Amino acid sequence: MITDEQILELAEEFLEEGGTRDDGSCCEYYGTMKDFIDFAQQIRRDTLYEVIHILSSVPNPEANRTAINRITMELD
């Protein structure tokens, strides 16, 4: 499972650290909407890869082959 620390590290790659919002308030990270979308998509990809790993690790991974294939196609 992706940890809070890993999420923060990933956020630092996509979003700039510290800043002031348009309304004058401060925030820990800021960036464009594209930055946020890229960040969210990376979290989703990481989660899907984790699901594939979990499904592949069961005693009979062939039972999950359809699910693994569907997720893999979505990642491509």
pLDDT for 73 beyond 70: yes
Among the residues of the chain, which ranges form H helices?
A: 4-14, 33-56, 65-75
Q: pLDDT class for 18, splitting at 50, 70, 90?
A: low
Least reliable range by pLDDT among 8-22, 33-47, 53-67: 8-22
Residue bearing tokens 């979290």: 43
Task: List the chain domain ranges.
Answer: 4-75
d(CA 58, CA 44): 22
pTM over 0.85: no
